[in-house]
Amino acid sequence: MANLQSTFLGIKSPNPFWLASAPPTDKKTNVIRAFEAGWGGVVWKTLGTQVKNVSSRYSALNYGRKAVGFNNIELISDRPLEVNLREIREVLKLFPDRAMIISLMADNNRKNWHEMVKKAQDTGAHGLELNFGCPHGMVERGMGAAVGQDPEIAKMVVEWVMEVANIPVITKLTPNVHSAVPGAIAAFEGGTNGLSLINTIQSVTGIDLDTLIPNPNVGGQSVFGGYCGPAVKPIALKMVTTIAQEERLRNIPISGIGGVTTWKDAVEFMLLGASNVQVCTAAMIYGFKIVTDLCDGMSNWMDERGYTSINDFVGLSVPRITKWEQLDINFHIEANINQEKCIHCGLCYISCEDTSHQAITVERGNPYNTYTIKEEECVGCNLCKIVCPVNDCITMVEHRKGSEYLNWIEYQKRGLPLNDH
Amino acid sequence: MSIQKNRLSKEVFAENFSDVHPPFEHAEGAVIEAERCLNCYDAPCAKLCPTSIDVPLFIKQISSGNIKGSAKTIFSSNIMGAGCSKVCPVEKLCEGACVFNLLKEKPISVSKLQRYASEKAISEKWKLFERKPSNGKKAAVVGAGPAGLACAHALSMQGVDVTIYEKEEKGGGLMTYGVAAYKVTPDFCKNEVDYILSVGGIDVQYKKELGKAITLAELQQKYDAVFLGIGVGIARSLDIPGEELDGVADAISFIYDLRTNDYSSIAVGDKVAVIGMGMTAIDAATQSKRLGAKEVTMIYRRTENEKPCTDVELDLAKLDGCSFIWLASPKEIIGENGKVKKLVCSKMKLGEPDASGRRAPVDSGETFTIDVDMVIKAAGQMPYEEIVNKSSVQNKNGKISINEKSETNLKGVFAGGDSVNGGKEVVDAVQAGKDGAKGILEYLGL
């Protein structure tokens, strides 16, 4: 069985699964339950000047019966700072082998940040995470995403923190920017030890069509909330990749966050450069027990691939994401329908016929039609394979247009024809 | 051994005749099932529906929470969509065609979903259809069964004023009088008929039988067009000695009595033989058992492979404890003091395929005898040959002949349903009614 032992900025945890700073890490009771369930570490819910929360706080985007997107309007911890600090100390004693990171968000002045950092590291915690990403409530007070969205302020705050920090500091980045890179570089220049991303994305998940009040409803009103859950994973993966590919950030560890629900999601974040992952929504929806399969699934996958340490695969897929003009235009695939496996649902046909390339023929039958690919029309777009409900019924078969690698820049240089249909 | 009524308690009757296919108890159940649907293109389920209900669409509408739209999708193709969801042999129609069968997975519960949306529309009296204003054209429909009601509804929608002549005191035809009570309750049948008629423009004259209360000639004179949806009559006779004995019943009358009276008043034997293996035979056998018969034996002249009922129906009978004798044909009913005592059967074997494509039963020459006190005949039904001949409608052994526009040899007289096809499913009759309406509308220039 593969070893899932993780070391992030020198902070050890038995596995790379941390609970992100959020409601599940708000108090001792929850964190103990999480550690008992097997989580590798937690990022304690953000400490700062005590706040007041509202009711209700969460809403979701459902696809079918399942929530694919989750939204919250909670602020940072609404419990007294002293209570949080005491409980952190108590948990550290109970679970010395787990990672304990404290998320911080101080009022925007040097003195206040210094005080917060000192109080936090006095607990014996292993690291700090700077919350530069919270998109609601704190922004209006000049904190959270308001800091993360302005690289200059971000750099300044990191510098303040690093002046007194004696444990590793992770800066958590906001996705509510056109690119996460400038904020990441600013944090790096300010001296941060690591980065974590993404925080939540501003959103409106939906409206109650009876009352016409958007969710979550707080006495007839709502606000933009922070969106997370499986729906944001692709956006998070993209943002993590941009950091992983940035030359100036080459040696800075990344903690990947955003919709991690299964071990596969976690592996994907790590393949794109994250050294570990943080999870919140999946735990909130299914409970802490999900960590069992996160660990087990990743470990089995590693065994099958022959990886003995999680470091064996971190970043392996990063070079596979390139610029469009570097793609090989001579690469060409065509769909093939396995008639033995086909269940005649016609979804491939109608999607191709209505919205793509009219590359599938239908031979009417009663009640089952027969569908076949018109190879000469197929552009290899994958749509039919995506909509097919049967595994491996539609396969994409390679039929290169030419043997050599030929990218768009070269293609233009040679003046090759554009109209190939 | 005797034929007795009131064999069971009121509670047991209620339990025995309660809904055999319970509906979704909660909206969540319907949505979970609806979301399982792949929403196929040119869907095989819809293709095998005789009324061509757009199944993927109505299921999609359930999952999107648009139940009104779903009900309208169903009723637009099949105005008896609610009843059909309970009585259709779906395992050989929509659900049998579901592509999940090809994955060896449970097919989508099309009928249960259809029932969910359509029953909701009926119970909440949703007004989903608005008829065009009357255009002065008048049509008579004979028979308020599935064919007649479907025809009347379609005609009324286009502004034709319709009068239905019905010999019974209730509408619904075989749905009301000829289907097992555990499939459709009398209340349901009434509500369904009321819902269909609520579109307006349809006047039903109950207890008015064609040939008695009114003649076809009179209808032709009074109305611009006539639709005959008169169905079929009693069970085909066995033509064997002893058929006149006390204790020989025909399945249609047996079920009719059961559907129109209290269960306690229906007499059933200790040992019942049911002749036939169609849906009506199953309904007669299971209901005999549910009335308290000790032994029910179904007798069929071919094998299980050739049976006209579906596997699901056969399972119902098996679960009810009926037994089966395959490759047997009744030869003689032996009586004592005028009452059924024994049934003599010929042992059959399978010969060459007949016109139906199934291997024909051939008498082996051997016989066997079983003790019975009641014999229920359910080997097909007889068309109303006399009525049809009296009205000089062209027919084949009583089955009315129509052209591709559903018109008979008589100008302006159309027909459809069991009276034309000799007896098929409710859903086939509904489609025949729709076809008849289409023919009439064209004939009337509408």
Note the pLDDT tens digit of each residue in B28-48. Answer: 999 999 999 999 999 999 999
Residue A416: C-alpha distances to residues A325, A401, A407 (Å): 15, 13, 11
Structural domain includes residue B13? no
CATH number of domain containing A91: 3.20.20.70
CATH number of domain containing B49: 1.10.1060.10
- pLDDT of amino acid B356: 83
Confidence of residue A50 (pLDDT cuts 50, 70, 90): confident
Q: How much is the average pLDDT of B145-170?
A: 98
State whether B261 and B366 are in the same domain. yes
State whether A315 and A332 are in the same domain. no
pTM: 0.93
Query: Searching chain A, which residue's CA lies closest to the CA of residue B104?
Result: A343
Of A289, A319, A349, which residue sits at a domain end?
Answer: A319
State whether B272 and B372 are in the same domain. yes
Structural domain includes residue B145? yes
Q: What is the CA radius of gyration of chain B?
A: 22
> A-contacting residues of B 71-110, CB under 8 Å?
97, 99-100, 102-103
Residue A343 distance to chain B (closest CA, Å)? 6
Q: How much is the average pLDDT of A247-272?
A: 97
- pLDDT of amino acid B107: 98
State whether A136 and A77 are in the same domain. yes
Domain assignment of residue A46, given as a range: 6-319
State whether A56 and A75 are in the same domain. yes
State whether B225 and B257 are in the same domain. no
Q: Answer whether B103 sits within 8 Å of A367, measured CB to CB.
A: no
Cα-based angle A139, A144, A150 (whole degrees, multiple of 5): 85
The shortest CB-CB distance from B44 to any of A344, A362, A389 is to A344
Of B361, B381, B401, which residue sits at a domain end?
Answer: B381
Is residue A321 within 8 angstroms of chain B, CB to CB?
no
State whether A275 and A332 are in the same domain. no
Structural domain includes residue B7? no
Is residue B31 within 8 angstroms of chain A, CB to CB?
yes
Of B123, B150, B173, which residue sits at a domain end?
Answer: B123
Q: Is A295 a catalytic residue?
A: no
The shortest CB-CB distance from A65 to any of B32, B40, B43 is to B32
Q: How much is the average pLDDT of B244-250?
A: 95
Q: How much is the average pLDDT of B101-118?
A: 97
Residues in contact with B211: Cβ distance below 8 Å, sequence separation at least 6, in sequence order: B386, B387, B390, B391
Structural domain includes residue A354? yes
Structural domain includes residue A180? yes
- d(CA B429, CA B79) in angstroms, rounded, equals 11
State whether B186 and B270 are in the same domain. no
State whether B210 and B291 are in the same domain. no
Is the pLDDT at B277 greater than 60? The verdict is yes
CATH number of domain containing A388: 3.30.70.20
Confidence of residue A1 (pLDDT cuts 50, 70, 90): confident
Q: Answer whether B38 sits within 8 Å of A390, measured CB to CB.
A: no
Is the pLDDT at B146 greater than 60? The verdict is yes
- pLDDT of amino acid A133: 78
Q: Answer whether A389 sits within 8 Å of B48, measured CB to CB.
A: no
Q: How many helices (H) and strands (E) does chain A have?
A: 13, 18
Is residue B444 within 8 angstroms of chain A, CB to CB?
no
Is the pLDDT at A421 greater than 90? The verdict is no
Structural domain includes residue A162? yes
- pLDDT of amino acid A70: 97
- Number of structural domains (chain A) is 2
Is the pLDDT at A338 greater than 60? The verdict is yes
| Cis, bond preceding A216 (omega within 30 deg of 0) | yes
- pLDDT of amino acid A103: 98
Of A266, A284, A319, which residue sits at a domain end?
Answer: A319
Closest CA to B78 of B52, B42, B48: B52
Residues of A in contact with B35 (CB under 8 A): 64-65
User: For residue B256, what are its two tokens?
Assistant: 């009719």
State whether B166 and B279 are in the same domain. no
Amino acid code (one letter) for B440: I
- pLDDT of amino acid B234: 79
Domain assignment of residue B37, given as a range: 22-123
- pLDDT of amino acid B204: 98
State whether B373 and B274 are in the same domain. yes
Residues in contact with B236: Cβ distance below 8 Å, sequence separation at least 6, in sequence order: B377, B379, B380, B381, B382
Residue A185 distance to chain B (closest CA, Å)? 45
- d(CA A226, CA A70) in angstroms, rounded, equals 8
Structural domain includes residue B438? yes
Q: How many CB atoms lie within 10 A of CB A399?
A: 12
State whether A351 and A283 are in the same domain. no
The shortest CB-CB distance from B38 to any of A345, A349, A366 is to A345
State whether A268 and A345 are in the same domain. no
Q: How much is the average pLDDT of B156-161?
A: 98
- pLDDT of amino acid B74: 98
Structural domain includes residue B76? yes
Q: How much is the average pLDDT of A378-391?
A: 97
Query: Searching chain B, which residue's CA lies closest to the CA of residue A389?
Result: B38
Q: What is the mean pLDDT of chain A?
A: 96
State whether B244 and B352 are in the same domain. yes
- d(CA A326, CA A328) in angstroms, rounded, equals 7
State whether B278 and B318 are in the same domain. yes
Q: How much is the average pLDDT of A210-220?
A: 98
Strands B248-250 and B374-377 come out as: parallel
The ipTM value here is 0.91
Closest CA to B107 of B44, B58, B42, B62: B44
Q: What is the mean pLDDT of chain B?
A: 96
Structural domain includes residue A46? yes
State whether A310 and A337 are in the same domain. no
- pLDDT of amino acid A420: 64
**Strand runs labelled E in B110-207:** 138-142, 161-165, 202-205
Closest CA to B36 of B92, B106, B118: B106
- pLDDT of amino acid B21: 84
State whether A337 and A277 are in the same domain. no
Q: Which comes out higher in pLDDT, residue A26 or B2?
A: A26
The shortest CB-CB distance from B48 to any of A345, A364, A367 is to A367
Structural domain includes residue A99? yes
CATH number of domain containing B424: 3.50.50.60
Note the pLDDT tens digit of each residue in A159-209. Answer: 999 999 999 999 999 999 999 999 999 999 999 999 999 999 999 999 999
State whether A389 and A254 are in the same domain. no
- Number of structural domains (chain B) is 3
State whether B181 and B265 are in the same domain. no
State whether A99 and A218 are in the same domain. yes
Structural domain includes residue A1? no
CA A257 from centre of chain? 4
Structural domain includes residue A420? no
Of B381, B405, B435, which residue sits at a domain end?
Answer: B381
Note the pLDDT tens digit of each residue in B335-385. Answer: 999 999 999 999 999 999 988 888 999 999 999 999 999 999 998 889 998
State whether A90 and A233 are in the same domain. yes
Phi, psi angle pair for A202, to nearest 5°: -60, 135
State whether B376 and B244 are in the same domain. yes
CA dihedral B45, B48, B49, B53 (to 10 degrees): 50
- pLDDT of amino acid B165: 98
Of A284, A319, A354, which residue sits at a domain end?
Answer: A319
State whether B276 and B360 are in the same domain. yes
Is residue A209 within 8 angstroms of chain B, CB to CB?
no
State whether A297 and A390 are in the same domain. no
Residues in contact with B406: Cβ distance below 8 Å, sequence separation at least 6, in sequence order: B414, B415, B416, B432, B435, B436, B438, B439, B440
Structural domain includes residue A421? no
